[in-house]
């Protein structure tokens, strides 16, 4: 069913003078940003802070996306006329940045304080490839925002280096803590969740699977997500492990928890990341994670403490990490327990929402 069945305005009811106007992708959609927004709403930020949420992007056809963009801009302009205290925009790279930077400029013109919440895994590459004019606009957008939220300290350092006058704060993505279901674990099941594409390291993961298969005859790789599944299956067939691939398609929140419960470990050997929600959800479920040492991941995962880090593109290191965990239930329990403790202490929804509320409070205190 097309995303058009989820009207872009279906959840935008709000008081006539909202305290916070928040803009971003539709929470019913797919991907990390949609998950982040959905959790913020579900866990009480919207009610607590008087948030009016307007989706400016949806999954679906070009018509669906164009309609959502036009409706989103129209509703944003109408809301800005009522002068919300703050405008909080979730954005990423490329077209997402262009759209959101214009909305941020409109909010500033209306006299609103602005929060730019940056989620882009490839924002550094986006800047590197941008024209000089676009680089100036990116720098201006960052520095003109009242606050820029980065997902990790590493991303904050990068942003401060590029836009020295930007007011950058670090607030990671939040994640709920599900009940532990370790008794459902299948000891040889590896779980991958994410966009099925080269950037996520899926092809190296299939090669690593082929390397560990002779040692672990029952090993299988469950793949949840959308993208280049047929290409991945073709590569698995070339390596003789197609029968070990379990395609899940795109899975909803309930199915995700079921798959996490079944998994022995979670693997996302990405080449570029912000702070992947799927990884945080796996850690919250008490699963050991094998992940790429890129982006904001090393701020959350400490190698050999609460997970295993592997260099991007290094099939040998990836296979060794997988074999280490597949071969030891005690090691899986140790790393999985430490991973869950990390989420409890730093990434649990209540902790993150309190930090966002503190940003709002500081901006209100600063006055007009």
Query: Of 2-6, 129-133, 298-302, where does mean pLDDT reach its minimum?
Result: 2-6
356 or 122: which carries more pLDDT confidence? 356
Give residue 7's pLDDT.
40
Burial class (CB in 10 A: 0-12, 13-18, 19+), 124: middle
Q: Is the pLDDT of residue 100 over 70?
A: yes
Q: In this structure, are residues 12 and 27 in contact, taking their beta carbons and an 8 Å threshold?
A: no
Report in angstroms the alpha-carbon separations of 366 from 48, 54, 160, 217: 20, 25, 22, 62
Query: pLDDT by residue (tens digit) across 5-53?
Result: 444 444 444 445 689 999 988 887 777 788 888 888 988 899 999 999 9
The token pair that represents 88 in the structure block: 């909080």
DSSP state of 345: I
* Euclidean distance between CA atoms 48 and 68, whole angstroms: 26
Report the Cα 327 to chain-centroid distance in Å.
30
Query: Of 27-41, 185-199, 228-242, where does mean pLDDT reach its minimum?
Result: 27-41
CA angle 264/266/268 to nearest 5° reads 155
Give residue 15's pLDDT.
46
Predicted structure pTM score:
0.80
Query: pLDDT by residue (tens digit) across 127-166?
Result: 999 999 999 999 999 999 999 999 999 999 999 999 999 9
The token pair that represents 17 in the structure block: 């003078």
Domains of the chain: 3-174+348-366 (3.40.50.2000), 182-347 (3.40.50.2000)
Report in angstroms the alpha-carbon separations of 356 from 14, 169, 337: 20, 10, 27
* Euclidean distance between CA atoms 207 and 202, whole angstroms: 9
Q: Is the pLDDT of residue 2 over 60?
A: no
Give residue 367's pLDDT.
63
């Amino acid at each position: 069913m097309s995303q058009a069945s989820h009207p872009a305005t279906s959840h935008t009811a709000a008081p006539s003078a909202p305290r916070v106007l928040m803009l971003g992708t539709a929470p019913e959609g797919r991907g990390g940003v949609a998950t982040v927004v959905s959790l913020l709403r579900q866990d009480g930020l919207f009610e607590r802070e008087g948030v009016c949420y307007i989706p400016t992007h949806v999954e679906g056809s070009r018509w669906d996306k164009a309609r959502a963009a036009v409706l989103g801009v129209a509703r944003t302009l109408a809301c800005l006329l009522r002068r919300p205290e703050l405008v909080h925009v979730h954005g990423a790279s490329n077209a997402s940045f262009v759209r959101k930077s214009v909305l941020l400029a409109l909010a500033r013109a209306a006299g609103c304080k602005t929060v730019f919440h940056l989620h882009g895994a490839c924002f550094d590459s986006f800047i590197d490839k941008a024209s000089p004019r676009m680089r100036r606009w990116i720098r201006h957008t960052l520095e003109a925002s009242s606050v820029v939220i980065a997902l990790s300290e590493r991303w904050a350092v990068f942003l401060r280096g590029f836009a020295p006058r930007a007011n950058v704060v670090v607030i990671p993505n939040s994640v709920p803590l599900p009940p532990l279901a370790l008794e459902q674990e299948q000891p040889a099941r590896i779980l991958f969740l994410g966009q099925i594409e080269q950037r996520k390291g899926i092809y190296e993961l299939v090669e690593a699977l082929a390397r560990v298969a002779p040692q672990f005859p029952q090993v299988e790789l469950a793949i949840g997500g959308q993208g280049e599944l047929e290409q991945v299956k073709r590569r698995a067939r070339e390596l003789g492990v197609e029968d070990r691939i379990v395609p899940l398609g795109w899975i909803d929140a309930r199915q995700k928890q079921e798959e996490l419960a079944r998994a022995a470990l979670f693997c996302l050997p990405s080449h570029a990341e912000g702070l992947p929600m799927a990884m945080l959800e796996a850690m919250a479920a008490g699963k050991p994670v094998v992940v790429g040492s890129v982006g904001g991941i090393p701020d959350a995962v400490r190698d050999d403490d609460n997970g295993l880090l592997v260099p991007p593109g290094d099939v040998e290191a990836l296979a060794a990490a997988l074999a280490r965990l597949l071969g030891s239930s005690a090691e899986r329990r140790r790393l999985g327990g430490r991973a869950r403790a990390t989420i409890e202490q730093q990434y649990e929804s209540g902790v993150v929402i309190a930090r966002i509320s503190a940003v709002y409070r500081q901006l209100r205190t600063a006055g007009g």
